[in-house]
């Protein structure tokens, strides 16, 4: 069943959706938490997060997806957003899900897309014993490398506090924060199974970023699946279906199909 949910974090409200399969009394099910990307929402383009959740719920896996503060329907303003702030919110969401009496706390998996992949990888590294599996879709990895010109341009103007990025205001704190992240080093402490999915024609986060995750953070623990010719958010039905099928295959030993 799909239900709107809220989570209070530092006096502000994170708004989200949960998808929880039917359960027998006292039963606990595995869960997946989905973290969206930069300027994204808990739906993500062409509702891919919703579609992933529906498929996983049909496999007996609960799903939880929230808008980070300043994004989508959640409280706050986008110009207050930093990557470190979203990592902290992601930790709070993980705590919330692990406390849910319907969820098996030993089988909680994280899934992140783009900057949400960066967030998920860091959270999994910092909470290795609390995360069962990890799925990263076109993960941003070293964000500063990807947007160096933007960040350096903002920081080069001493009095510039806000920058207009396609109608989203980016705060100076975001630019200062993104330069401090050691993502691959923080991610490598996660010792569980990892699925990396990336489009070979991604113009936003080149697929080499997933190769770097595999080489520097996960080694043989990670399976990398490249979607041929796909863009950053898998904006064709065939690409989307391929992504969802790979996710379901990866989670197949976790969920149980309803009888």
- Residue-wise pLDDT for 25-59, tens only, equals 889 999 999 999 999 999 999 999 999 999 999 99
Angle at 193 between CA 192 and CA 194, to 5 degrees: 115
In tens, the pLDDT along 146-164 reads 999 999 999 999 999 999 9
Per-residue pLDDT at 24? 87
| pLDDT for residue 258 is more than 90 | no
**Secondary structure of the chain as H, E, C letters:** CEEEEEEEECCEEEEEEEECCCCCCCCCEEEEEEECCCCCCCCCHHHHHHHHHHHHHHCCCEEEEECCCCCCCCCCCHHHCCHHHHHHHHHHHHHHHHHCCCEEEEEEEEEEECHHHHHHHHHHHHCHHHCCEEEEECCCCCHHHHCHHHHHHHHCCCCCCEEEECCEEEEHHHHHHHCCCCHHHHHCCCCCEEEEEEECCCCCCCCHHHHHHHHHHHHHHEEEEEECCCCCCCCCHHHHHHHHHHHHHHCCCCCCCCC
Range scoring the smallest mean pLDDT among 42-46, 129-133, 250-254:
250-254
pLDDT number for residue 256:
55
Q: How far apart are CA 242 and CA 74, in angstroms?
A: 30
Which CATH number covers residue 188? 3.40.50.1820
Confidence of residue 23 (pLDDT cuts 50, 70, 90): confident
Number of domains in the chain: 1
Range of the domain at 13: 2-145+182-250
pLDDT tens-digit series, residues 93-104? 999 999 999 999
Instruction: Report if pTM > 0.75.
Output: yes
pLDDT surpasses 50 at 257: no
pLDDT band at 223 (very low <50, low <70, confident <90, very high): very high
Q: Dihedrals φ, ψ of 167, to 5°?
A: 90, -5
- Structural domain contains residue 60: yes
Do the domain assignments include residue 43? yes
In a domain, 259, yes or no: no
Give the pLDDT band of residue 255 (cuts 50, 70, 90).
low
Residue 257 falls within a domain, yes or no? no
In this predicted structure, what is the pLDDT of residue 254?
Answer: 79
Q: Is there a domain that residue 226 lies in?
A: yes
Residue 259 is predicted with a pLDDT of 35
- Confirm whether 161 is domain-assigned: no
Q: Does 85 reside within a domain?
A: yes
pLDDT above 90 covers what percent of the chain? 95
Q: Domain for residue 153, yes or no?
A: no
């Amino acid at each position: 069943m799909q239900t709107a949910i809220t989570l209070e974090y530092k006096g502000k409200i994170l708004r989200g959706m949960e998808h929880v399969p039917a359960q027998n009394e006292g039963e606990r099910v595995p869960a997946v938490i989905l973290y969206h990307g930069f300027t994204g929402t808990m739906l993500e383009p062409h509702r891919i997060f919703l579609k992933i959740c529906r498929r996983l719920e049909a496999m007996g896996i609960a799903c939880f997806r929230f808008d980070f503060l300043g994004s989508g329907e959640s409280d706050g303003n986008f110009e207050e957003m930093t990557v470190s702030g979203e990592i902290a919110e992601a930790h709070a969401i993980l705590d919330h899900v692990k406390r849910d009496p319907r969820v098996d706390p030993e089988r909680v998996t994280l899934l992140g897309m783009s900057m949400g992949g960066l967030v998920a990888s860091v959270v999994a590294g910092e909470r290795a014993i609390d995360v069962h599996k990890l799925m990263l879709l076109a993960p941003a990895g070293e964000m500063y490398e990807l947007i160096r010109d933007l960040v350096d341009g903002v920081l080069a103007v001493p009095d510039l506090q806000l920058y207009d990025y396609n109608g989203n205001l980016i705060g100076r704190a975001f630019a200062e924060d993104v330069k401090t992240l050691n993502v691959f080093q923080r991610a490598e402490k996660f010792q569980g199974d990892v699925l990396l999915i990336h489009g070979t024609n991604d113009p936003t986060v080149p697929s080499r970023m997933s190769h770097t995750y595999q080489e520097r953070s996960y080694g043989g623990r990670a399976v990398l699946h490249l979607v041929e010719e796909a863009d950053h958010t898998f904006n064709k039905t065939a690409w989307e279906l391929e992504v969802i099928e790979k996710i379901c295959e990866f989670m197949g030993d976790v969920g149980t199909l309803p009888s």
